[in-house]
A and B are shown apart, each in its own frame.
Chain A
């Protein structure tokens, strides 16, 4: 942890350096999940793969959507669409903290000049039926990552325990690059032939989605879609384990989980539209959790979940 790195020059360089670093540490470089999710944890590479006994190591960028955080691109650091960098390693290696600190050095944070702190922050996701213990990591008083040892996911004890790292990429990059407003951050190299700022890439979409999320999304349709996703999830899992066509044991944990993800995102949209009351909220969260739980149960019956084939 002594070799000092040159400072990165753009948002994407920080992402690339994280990719390079974690690839070198042996993680499978996965790609974003192709669905709307609220956080990198929802990616099946984390949620489902943290279940069961089989070792796993993956890292990926995950575009994450939080409809209620939309600010029409005007807030210096609030976005309804942002990037998380996610690392998941099972079982959590004994030197995970050191590995993590190495990744901060890799993106140009000089450990001799900064004050890095691990501050208690227990993580819980009611919709995933998941919790873990860990910290938020502070760099000079700013939260730069979430560091969690998963204890339960989908209502199941994690054995072995996965270590999960989540970096809020925009905030971290703004800090490293010394940027005050996210839209001013260089997305690619500032000296590229066509240099693009974060605002060039995302300001318009932030406006469009803010308007859509808050005022336009069809709530009747969303409510219907929520119910449909819920029904489909249960229906998929109710199918017999043996596929009548191939005669093979194929439990469809992932397709079912897609429906759980869908329900979760629809719930977030409905929340942004302000049509969910405080008491209904808990009920909706409980319904999504029930779906995730069913998918977790099913995943444990699959080979990837450790079921003997």
Chain B
């Protein structure tokens, strides 16, 4: 069976899009082939800066013939009916067969769809694929209407086996398919023909192109680590940079260069960020000192001088970049921290929420109030909050926004502020995601909470809430941050009071509902079901997230036990009976039942059990020992079951009936004091 090779050769494809594009090419083409009846053994896709390639092994040479039978009208049916059938089936009267059927003799049409040669199908599939390719961004060029990520220059499409290959004839917007491609743009620009995938790979390699991105990345990493190792150094691992760099070259040549001594005083993160963001350099570290001493750059070619000119050029660019960084760093260090803070008065945070300076003032006041709740010194929390955004007006952060926080820590340290304050400058942004570390130092926790609460209440107050997929101010992330800060540090605080303490007039209940929604998402990942959360949300103090979660965890565990499940059924039965009676009678059965009307032993036993349970549950609830409260509740299971077994609630004796309904209500009340069990499903 023949093998198929496709290459789409274009101008430089953005590195970040290449891997996904190779996958899309494979998926779209192979899905198209299979849908048309062309199965295959295996397929592999590849990308370089200038080409997407797909190799499909052992494709059927043609699609199978499909035979279909269709039952028609009876032989003696009117001509009109028979003609209609012929039209619908697309056959002539000669193609009809007469067969015996239960109803007599009936026409059958035999429709045969002949198989089609693979080349025809491939040409169609490839055209559809190119025209509908899901590039994140595509463009037109010249006078054409075709869209591709950058101008598409040639299409290689061959189908063949060991004995040779032929071009799959095909043309799209003036580009004719062929069997040739180009090598490296500079090192081997001549066009050459290929006869198979193996031949393609081999010729590309000779023409200075490594087809596989993984091979290029491996090559880069291998050479870089070797060169570093030879000098007793190590390359700082950076997988996303490696993938990006592998997408910028077809023929990677690793070059290691020096960082001038002048820049060694810069924080390692500044060196790394500047080199990675601007130059796509890897940092090379001295493992003994932790200092970044060299860099690795990856060129796209070999040169007669073994990269000397290229390295010198790169070094020069780096020198200019790091001179800038050093200039920023030194200027920033010369600037008193309070001057940076003062400059925040000129920076708008949001036009309805004032300047960064006003924001800092609010955060500082709030942090001071939160401090005692998290075990932090209020004065330190205030001080930390007052300087926590200072670095936003530093030159370094203006240049490298991703260094915000980190530079704040360095500058606070340099200003001789207490270590907790410096740490808070960096840590108060955390956690930024669901897996990010949560700060634990009390001062950092206080500032982190204050910052996020101020943001949330602020945007709530001006009605800029997240909607659908739109969350431009990352408020969901901020709320999750608060949730994790509170829960993972065991902070006991009512969120509503915090909202009130903030300087914004936000709809606190609405914001709390937003928090509860985020909490549900957070707890769902921890195995707590939504109905359990709802049952706990209905309880008082549901703005105390630590309490809420404690209750939810106990309830989830309780419901997993036999007693828990049965008690839930008992509760639901009691609740249903009381509710139906209440609806029917139009009264509420909330009087205390009187044991003197208890007739049966089971009824009396239930009275005793309820008294006993209540005596245990009340103190347990006061101590927030939900597990103990629920296990006391579990003790009700047997007497409740026995009661329902032996006692008819709705008797004709109205006094007894009323007393029993009030007794069921007591069950209801006791159970509901632990959690709103009516919300539990099942």
Contacts and interface: CB of A to CB of B under 8 A. Distances in A.
Interface of A: 76-77, 91-94, 97, 111-120, 122, 132-135, 139-142, 149, 151, 158-161, 163, 175, 277-279
A97 B303 CA distance: 21
Contacts of B585: none
Contact of B142 (A94, A97, A175, A279): A94
B416 interface: no
Interface string B345-364: 00110010000000000000
Interface in B238-280: 248-249, 279
Given A91-B142, A94-B151, A120-B15, A278 B347 contact: yes
A175 B348 contact: no
B297 interface: yes
A119 B17 CA distance: 12
Interface string B37-60: 000000000000100000000000
B310 A114 contact: yes
Given A112-B304, A113-B304, A133-B137, A91 B186 contact: no
B161 interface: no
B301 A133 contact: no
Contacts of A112: 186, 303-304
Given A112-B304, A115-B299, A142-B313, A133 B142 contact: no
Contacts of A158: 140
B12 A135 contact: yes
B15 A115 contact: no
21 contacts: A92-B151, A113-B304, A114-B310, A115-B300, A116-B300, A119-B12, A133-B139, A135-B12, A139-B313, A140-B309, A140-B310, A140-B312, A141-B313, A142-B316, A151-B139, A161-B142, A175-B313, A277-B348, A277-B351, A279-B348, A279-B351
Contacts of A97: 11
B317 A140 contact: yes
B153 A116 contact: no
A94 B279 contact: no
A305 B307 CA distance: 48
A97 B153 CA distance: 12
A82 to B, nearest CB: 16
Contacts of A114: 303, 309-310, 313
Nearest to A53: B143
Interface in B313-337: 313-314, 316-318, 320, 323
A160 B139 contact: no
A306 B140 CA distance: 20
B320 A76 contact: yes
Contacts of B297: 141
Given A141-B314, A277-B348, A279-B348, A118 B143 contact: no
B473 interface: no
B492 to A, nearest CB: 39
Nearest to A139: B313
Nearest to A163: B141
Contacts of A91: 141-143
Given A77-B320, A111-B186, A113-B303, A161 B139 contact: yes
Given A91-B141, A141-B313, 11 more contacts: A76-B323, A94-B153, A114-B303, A115-B301, A117-B300, A119-B248, A140-B314, A140-B316, A161-B140, A161-B141, A278-B347
Most B Cβ at <10 Å: residue of A91, A132, A133: A133
B305 interface: yes
Most A Cβ at <10 Å: residue of B14, B140, B317: B140
A12 B625 CA distance: 84
A117 B151 CA distance: 16
B116 interface: no
Contacts of A94: 142, 151, 153
Nearest to B153: A94
A112 to B, nearest CB: 6
A120 B14 contact: yes
Contacts of A163: 141
A278 B303 contact: no
A291 B140 CA distance: 26
Nearest to A279: B351
Nearest to A143: B317
Given A111-B186, A115-B300, A149-B139, A120 B151 contact: no
A92 B317 contact: no
Contacts of B314: 140-141
